[in-house]
Structure 1
Amino acid sequence: MSSDKNKIRIVIADDHTLVRQSIVQMLRQQGDFEVVQECEDGVSLVQAAIQKAPDVILMDISMPKMNGLVAIDKLLDNRPDAKVLVLTMHDEIEYMHALHTSGARGYVLKESSTEQLSEAIRVIHEGGTFFPNALTQSLASGKGSSTDDTSILNNLTRREREVFHLVVAGRATKEIAVLLDMSYKTAENHRGRILNKLQVSNTAELIRLAARKGLLE
C-alpha cells in the first residue's frame, strides 16, 4: 500500500449518504486514494476544497444549498488550479458541454465501473481530462463552439453562469445575492443580462429554454 504522502487526496461531495459512503469505501480499497473530507452540499464542498486543497475534487451536480455547477465556478474563482471530476447520473450531451465549459476536468456516470472511476481520478490527477466519447466527438465536430445553439452557456460569463443555474433552480434574486455574496442589485443586473443574452423575456421562458437544452436537474 502507498504511503499517505504519495496518495491522491480527494474531497468528495454527494448529498446521498449511502451513495457517498459506498464511493468512499471503494476509493479507500484502491490503496492510492485518501478521502480527506466528505461533503453533502455545494456550500460545504467549496469550503472544503479551499481549506483542504485536495488533489482531486469528486462531486455530484444535484446538491442542496448550492448547485454543483455553481459550486464549480465558485471554487475555481478561489482555486483556479482545482481538478474537478464530476460523478453524476446525467448523461445528456448538453450537461457535458456545460460542465466542460465550467472548468471540470472530467465527467463520469454513476453507472460506470470502479475501474473507470479510479482511472478517471488518476488521469485527472496527472493533469489530463476524462470525458465521455460523446462529448469528445461533439467538440471535435464543432458542436461545442459558442456558435452552436445547444451550448447556450458559452455565451455567458462565469458569474452569469452561476446566476443562471440558481435562477433555473428556482432561487429568488435575494437568495442568489446571499449565496454568491453580492448585492441584490448586482444579482438583478446579472439576471437581466442573462435574459438579454439568451433572448428570453422572463424567468419562465429561461427555465423552458434550460429544459429544452437538458440543463435542468
Structure 2
Amino acid sequence: MTIKIVLADDHVLMRQGLSQVLNADPGIDVIGECGDGVELIEQVIKLRPDVVVMDISMPKMSGLVAIDKLLSQRPDCKILVLSMHNELEYIEAMQDAGAKGYVLKESSSDVLIDAIRSIYHGRTAFIAAQPGSDQEKPSRASPITALTRREREVFFLVAAGNTSKQIAELLTMSLKTAENHRSNIYKKLNVSSSAELIRLAGKAGLLE
C-alpha cells in the first residue's frame, strides 16, 4: 500500500528536496506540495492524503493554527511536524494540538520515513529529542491545554500580533465573536492584554 503524502514547507528548496527523498521510496507518493497554511488546508481537503508532513513556521497561517483547522475538518488527519526546534515546549504544543509525530529537520531521511510509516500505521512518532535526554517524554502542561480548539486558533493569532478585526477576517467570524474568544482566553490564562499573552506564549516556547 502506497502512503499518500501532502508536504508543506515555505522554503521551496527544502520542500523540493524532501519531495525527492520521499518519492524515492517505493512505498511513498507525494501527491501535493504547498508553501503556506491556507494552501495546505485546501490541498488536504481536496486530495485527502494519508499523512501530512508539515513545517510549523509558514506564512499566512501559523502551522499550529493550520493543525487545529485541519483536525476540525478532518479529525482523522495524521499530521507529522517537521521543525528546527528541539525544545520541550514545542513538542508539547504539537501533541496538544493533535499532531501524531514530531521530527527535527536535521534528522536523516530514514528517520523521517520511519516516522511517516509509524504514523500511517496508527502509532505516534515524537522522536526529536536525543536518546537518554530529559526531553524524551514531555510532561509539563502547555498553557493551550486549557483552551478549546477555536480558542487555540485565536490564541496563536493574537500571539502573532493580529487585531480582533484581523482575526475575525482570517477565521471567518464576526468581530464580536472574535472579541468574545479573546476575552475568554484572557480569563482562562489569567492575562489582561495581548502583551501579557505574548509574553506568556514566549515563556512557553510557543512563539515561532
What is the TM-score of this pair, normalised by structure 1? 0.90
Task: Name which of structure 1's ranges 95-104 and 175-184 shifts more when overlaid on structure 2.
Answer: 175-184
Match of 2:154 in 1: 163
1:74-153 paired onto structure 2 within 5 Å:
74-132=69-127, 136-139=136-139, 143-144=140-141, 151-153=142-144
> How many Å separate the matches in 2 of 1:31 and 1:77?
31
> How many Å separate the matches in 2 of 1:135 and 1:165?
24
- Amino-acid identity (%): 57
Match of 2:35 in 1: 40
What amino acid is aligned across from residue 83 of structure 1 in structure 2? Answer: K
Kept in 1, the 8 Å contact 2:100–2:123? The answer is: yes
Structure 1 residue 90: Cα displacement: 1.6
Match of 1:9 in 2: 4
- Could you list the per-position Cα deviations for residues 145-179 of structure 1 after superposition, in whole angstroms to 9, with x for gaps in the alignment? xxxxxx11111111110100111111221221122
> How many Å separate the matches in 2 of 1:174 and 1:97?
29
Q: Secondary structure at the match of 1:10?
A: strand
Does residue 202 of the first structure (1) align with residue 193 of the second (2)? yes
> How many Å separate the matches in 2 of 1:172 and 1:48?
28
Match of 1:147 in 2: none
Structure 1 residue 7: Cα displacement: 1.2
Which ranges of structure 2 fall in alignment gaps of 5 or more residues? none
- After superposition, the CA RMSD in angstroms is 1.2
What is the TM-score of this pair, normalised by structure 2? 0.94
> How many Å separate the matches in 2 of 1:33 and 1:169?
35
Structure 1 residue 137: Cα displacement: 2.3
Does residue 64 of the first structure (1) align with residue 74 of the second (2)? no
Structure 1 residue 138: Cα displacement: 2.8
Which ranges of structure 1 fall in alignment gaps of 5 or more residues? 1-5, 145-150
Q: Secondary structure at the match of 1:196?
A: helix
Q: Which 4+ residue blocks in structure 1 deviate beyond 3 angstroms?
A: 133-136
Kept in 2, the 8 Å contact 1:97–1:135? The answer is: no
- Could you list the per-position Cα deviations for residues 30-76 of structure 1 after superposition, in whole angstroms to 9, with x for gaps in the alignment? 12111111010000101111111100000000101110000000011
Structure 1 residue 135: Cα displacement: 5.4
